[in-house]
Amino acid sequence: MNNIDMRSDTVTWPTPEMRHAMAAAEVGDDVYGEDPTVNRLQEAAAQRLGKEAALFVPSGAMGNLIALMTHCQRGDEAILGDLSHPYIYETGGMSALGGIQPRTLRNQPDGTLDLEDIRLAVREDDVHFPISRLIALENTHNRCNGVPLKAEYIAAVGELARQHGLLLHIDGARIFNATAALGVPASELVAPADSVTFCLSKGLCAPVGSVLCGSADFIRRARRIRKQLGGGMRQAGVLAAAGLIALDVMTERLGEDHARAARLAAGLAEISQLIVHPQHTNIIRFELAPDAKVDGQDMLAALAAEGIRIGYGGYWGFRIVTHYWIDDAAVDKTLAALGRIFAK
Ligand code: TLP
């Protein structure tokens, strides 16, 4: 990459190995189910996540929307966190396009929803109420500082869902970061879920695409919703070829990004004018302390002048995300630049 771009792991470019595989990919028309590379990716993803089947989709947001629309009828209610990606960052798609009502519960700092809160949110069978249909979790949890959700917690939510006849969806955009942080296979983390999405195009460096996994029947129905949303792709094998490398190769190296994020977080914590939130995986969130002598916009401009870009989320503060294209030198350069900016 030309500069140090840590606004997100979505900014990652494909690796040279991916570009070669993309150029050589065997392709077909995937709407007919005839793209051999897409089919290979779907089979590999399903196997890796321990589900019967999978569907290649253009984006994480579309994967979540397809999952919600496949599980829920219009007017149904989905229980999810008030800091969850589908609620905050997906343009209200679940209500605008799916007619699904979000029932938001407060996300705890560890990214979870309180089990008792979920229990209380499940609707009784009453003609006045929408039908509670689904619970959605997010792992790792983006807004909650990239925290990974543990297998025991997900199992408890799965059990609760079953007791109340609800379905469980996991937005696992960064599920392999959770795997790297917890040392637990992705298949175990998502075992209680009826569906899971994961992104190939974030820390795994593929240029485009996410995968939705679930039972064979669920994926058969999801394929129709994907088409309805305009997400049926044709010779998508050129993208799936990169996705296969993302899944096979790139999932194994995410610990490196976490180590660099830990080093960055430790360096930031030494700057007294910053408040740094706990770091767990590849996401670091921080704010300016009330007595900071540097304005946030000035800090961003000073970093940009040195070729360094970080994320800014208004009153939600700043975000740094490490990824494949951020090496040790980039970490050193960023810490040195921030040191200079706040020494003034
Ligand atoms: N997150 C993006 C932005 O949309 C905020 C980012 O830069 O982190 N689930 C989770 C947990 C995500 O973090 C994202 C992307 C998505 C879903 C959506 O994925 P895409 O961008 O492929 O639609």
Q: How many CB atoms lie within 10 A of CB 331?
A: 21
Specify the pTM. 0.97
CA 21 to CA 296: how far, in whole Å?
A: 42
- Residue 89 near ligand 1, beta carbon < 6 Å: yes
Given ligand 1 and candidates 91, 138, 202, which is best to mutate, with the most ligand atoms within 8 Å of its CB?
202
Mean pLDDT over each residue of the chain, to the nearest integer: 97
Residues 17-27 as b/e (b if ≥16 CB within 10 A, e otherwise) read ebeebbeebeb
pLDDT tens, residue by residue, 239-270: 999 999 999 999 999 999 999 999 999 999 99
**CATH fold label, 13-251:** Aspartate Aminotransferase; domain 2 (3.40.640)
Strand partners, 113: 107
pLDDT tens per residue, range 74-83: 999 999 999 9
Q: What share of the chain is helix, strand, coil (3-state, %, to 5)?
A: 45, 20, 40
Average pLDDT, integer, range 106-114: 98
Under a CB-based contact definition with an 8 Å cutoff, are residues 180 and 255 in contact?
Answer: yes
Q: Identify the pLDDT of residue 194.
A: 98
| Alpha-carbon gap, residue 69 to 63, rounded angstroms | 10
Strand partners for 55: 212
Distance 173 CA to ligand 1 centre (A): 7
Q: What is the DSSP string of 244-287?
A: HHHHHTGGGGHHHHHHHHHHHHHHHHTSTTEEE----SSEEEEE
User: Best mutation site among 199, 319, 323 for ligand 1, i.e. most ligand atoms within 8 A of its Cβ?
Assistant: 199
Instruction: Dump pLDDT digits (tens) for 128-146.
Output: 999 999 999 999 999 999 9
Mean pLDDT of 90-108: 98
Question: Where along the chain do the CATH 3.90.1150.10 domains lie?
Answer: 4-9+253-343
pLDDT at 2: 67
Residue 36's pLDDT is what? Answer: 98
pLDDT digits (tens, 9 = 90+) for 179-193: 999 999 999 999 999
* Domain made up of 4-9+253-343: CATH architecture: Alpha-Beta Complex (3.90)
pLDDT: which is higher, 1 or 52: 52
Q: What is the pLDDT of residue 92?
A: 98
Which pLDDT score is estimated for 185? 98
pLDDT of residue 314: 76
CA-nearest residue, atom 5 of ligand 1: 89
Within the chain, which residue ranges are assigned CATH 3.40.640.10? 13-251
